[in-house]
Amino acid sequence: MSFTMYFLLPNRSYAGDGTRSTLGQSVENHFAFAVYMYGEYPPFNEYNIGNIEWIRDMEGDVFNMGGDPPDVEDLELTPITLE
């Protein structure tokens, strides 16, 4: 049985761990999504960008809510709103 889960990441201290948790649940065949809230992003180094790409390969996604998207080459977050 597959579950759908969203990791709501309201501050930077949870963002890196939340991205890894999203990836872990995706690998376990769950539909997992990370939501960076209020412009609080982890450092977008090669490791974190690779995790985001892998989440998308596993049919998940990483969303941006309530903040300006980061200006990082080869990285685009899917914008969402509360509506």
Q: pLDDT at position 70, please?
A: 81
> Which pLDDT belongs to residue 23?
96
Per-residue pLDDT, 43: 82
Reported as a single tens digit per residue, the pLDDT across 40-78 is 888 888 998 999 999 999 999 999 998 888 888 888 899
Count of domains observed in the chain: 1
Name the one residue in this structure whose structure tokens are 């376990």: 28
CB atoms within 10 A of CB 82: 5
What's the mean pLDDT when you consider all of the chain?
Answer: 90
C-alpha to C-alpha distance for 26 and 41, rounded to whole angstroms? 20
Would you state the pLDDT for residue 62? 94
Find the domain containing 35 and state its range. 4-80
Q: Give the separation between CA 56 and CA 37, rounded to whole angstroms.
A: 19
